[in-house]
Amino acid sequence: MTQRRLFAKYPKKPKSVPMKKEKEGEEWTPDNVFWRWLSMTFVNFHLLLFLSYLVEIWLVVATKYNRIIND
């Protein structure tokens, strides 16, 4: 009786969930390669635009305070 009351406080041990199998990797189909290339081109293009915008800001600030050495 005492043992039942002792273990009644604790919840039952959950059953272990089987591990999911990891994918070996995506198949390199031509369609998959094209979409991956397109998405990376899109990302890199916008990253280049953002970096050029930062360079423009840096140039404006540098010329405003004459920090660029003139030849």
CA 12 to chain centroid, in Å, comes to 38
pLDDT band at 29 (very low <50, low <70, confident <90, very high): confident
Token reading at 64: 């405003």
> What is the value of pTM for the model shown?
0.50
Domain ranges of the chain: 29-71
Token reading at 3: 């043992």
Please give the single-letter amino acid code of residue 16: S
The mean per-residue pLDDT over the stretch 14-41 comes to: 82
Residues 38-59 have pLDDT tens digits of: 999 999 999 999 999 999 999 8
Q: Taking the C-alpha atoms of 23, 25, 28 and 33 in order, what is their torsion angle to the nearest 10 degrees? A: 110
